[in-house]
Amino acid sequence: MSSEFTYTNADMQGGSMIIDIPDDWRPTADSINALPQPLRRYIHDLETRCDPAGDTMLIYELKEQLRTVEAMLQREREDRA
């Protein structure tokens, strides 16, 4: 399943494009770099204005790491039981 996203921007000279974004899409560097240039620039500008020190990204990455470690510990506990 996926979501359809219509993007209209002045850079496109009044045109628009439809982008098919999968429901499991994650904001990784690769997936953002695969977006059209106007969207990449918009995301970069948002990130620069909203989180200039990168704290939000660091917190997100640490939470992902914590979830991974917790899952590993849970599997280890189950294996010992």
What H or E segment, with its residue span, contains residue 30?
A: helix 29-33
Structural domain harbouring 19: 1-50
Q: Tens of pLDDT along 26-55?
A: 888 888 888 888 888 888 888 888 888 888
| Residue 42 and residue 24 share a domain | yes
Statement to judge: residues 6 and 39 lie in one domain: yes
Q: Are residues 41 and 13 in the same domain?
A: yes
81 vs 16 pLDDT, higher one? 81
Residues 6, 45, single domain; the answer is yes
Mean pLDDT of 69-81: 94
Check residues 29 and 16 and name the one with the higher pLDDT.
Answer: 29
Same domain membership, residue 2 and residue 24: yes
Position 7 pLDDT exceeds 80? no
Q: 32 and 62 share a domain?
A: no
Q: What's the pLDDT at 16?
A: 66
**Residues 33 and 66 placed together within one structural domain of the fold:** no
Q: Please state the domain count of the chain.
A: 2
> Which value, to the nearest 10 degrees, does the dihedral of the CA atoms of residues 67, 48, 35, 65 take?
-10
Q: Are residues 4 and 23 in the same domain?
A: yes
